[in-house]
Amino acid sequence: MARGDGRLNHDILPGESGPQDACGVFGVWAPGEEVGKLAYYGLYALQHRGQESAGIATSDGSRMLVYKDMGLVSQVFDETSLGSLTGHLAIGHTRYSTTGASRWENAQPTLGGTEHHTIALAHNGNLINTEELREVLASRHVDGFGDAGGEMRRGNTTDTAIVTSLLGSRGEDVSLEEAALADLPLIKGAYCFVFMDEQTLYAARDPQGVRPLVIGRLERGWVVASETAALDIVGASFVREVEPGELVVIDESGLRAQSFAEPVRKGCVFEYVYLARPDTTIAGRGVHAARVEMGRRLAQEHPVEADMVMPSPESGTPAAIGYAEQSGIAYGQGLVKNAYVGRTFIAPSQTIRQLGIRLKLNPLREVIKGQRLVVVDDSIVRGNTQRALVRMLREAGAAEVHVRISSPPVRWPCFYGIDFASRAELIATGLDVEAVRQAIGADSLGYISEEGMVGATEQPRDRLCTACFSGEYPLGVPRDQEKVLGTPHEADTPRGATV
């Protein structure tokens, strides 16, 4: 039977996707619990972080089983498959592709190891020195063959497969914990790894802490997840973040942690803007509260006379609430969403497109007609979505449409785990604000300043990565992107030079 591809279509333009995070990861060590089902629900809470494939690995102490496929978590797993995923520990993964194409061979968790123990690994992020890591593998006589290089031999083209092979390439005399402490300092880029052997759960975070990773406590075990919202879903209490540059080990002796690198925090600011769930907390700051504050600061920086503030569905809602509160302009809903249409895999024909059929959203004409609207969104990438929304509102009778964006112009691609458009596709590349306004057809356009956005996160500016807005890449860029960006290769050391 034909299955969906697992992509959530945009509410306004079916073929248009917003910024996509690379992945969500989840791990659980809990003897006596249904760890496969806990991983399933953890991944369900992290579905927004990856919608191309999903997978879970479990172990009962002697045997490891991995089940993964293309599609959403709810498409990949059912009662039968989850019933076979038994044991005392599990890891799970939900994926968008950054490095490596979207196909089954690249789904995670990946498998590796040696003759006597297996490694399963899930990764959120993106590495920038994969060629150097391949050279390390070659020096250890691992070149896509043998147990350690099994994923590459099976056609996996991701950076995750390289790391899995790396951890399994030191031989039988080296434990997985020893291998991780030795090899993690070699890996450059953004990464949150959750991995396991038959007995033990591991988690590691890059020294910059670009992506979030947190630890939770169950009554009879431990949980590691990309976001605190996933802890809430499975009933785990938040303990702390995995620190940047830290390896966490969880087994029958409890939890222990070691530092493998000096931390130099550069958390992704776009997690606060868009990527993370609003009910998640990052570095002690609630994401919903940060987005509302961005809206307030946006209203201070770009006021306008209007009759109603409305969000661009649905990611613009918290910032729209903040804008309305600060400006004193009434908050309202200008669009109705069909709650029973979650996603569609049937592309409309050209005729249906021309008829302007709106399967998911329809404007409230009696609310919009004759009104001066402030439409708040989190970001503009290509501009197609905002152009379609402005057109829809004008057709419904809006007198004016003023667009306000709760992040600065996106002018640079991300190499640390967000699947943005290429730089050539980013509408703000080479265009000033007025030109973007004309392109989307708005009466006015205002972006929050970088200072306003950073201030709303309540994090120090020097502890955040703002590369997609500023062009300052704190970890360097992959070698194959040097000529595209016109920057020298410095992947071996963090840097902050503007490119």
**Which residue type is seen at 484?**
V
The partner residues of 336 in beta bridges, in order of sequence, read 362
CA nearest to 231, candidates 249, 213, 243, 211: 213
* CA distances in angstroms from 283 to 97, 257, 269, listed in the order given: 26, 19, 11
CA nearest to 348, candidates 56, 15, 110: 15
Active site residue: 23, 192, 268, 465, which one? 23
Q: Compute CA 165 distance to the chain's CA centroid, rounded to the nearest angstrom.
A: 24
CA distance 308 to 372: 7
414 annotated active-site: no
Most distant CA pair in the chain: distance in Å? 75
Q: Is 256 helix (H, G, I), strand (E, B) or coil?
A: strand
Alpha helices in 328-399 (DSSP H): 350-355, 365-368, 384-395
- Are 228 and 284 contacting, i.e. CB atoms less than 8 angstroms apart? no
E strands, 269-416, are 281-282, 285-286, 308-311, 335-337, 361-363, 372-377, 400-405
Backbone φ, ψ for residue 390 (5° rounding):
-60, -45
Q: What is the DSSP letter of 472?
A: B
CA distance 178 to 186: 14
- Are 387 and 394 contacting, i.e. CB atoms less than 8 angstroms apart? no
CA nearest to 160, candidates 115, 209, 204, 124: 124
Strands 372-377 and 308-311 turn out to be parallel
- Are 39 and 92 contacting, i.e. CB atoms less than 8 angstroms apart? yes
Please give the positions annotated as active site: 23
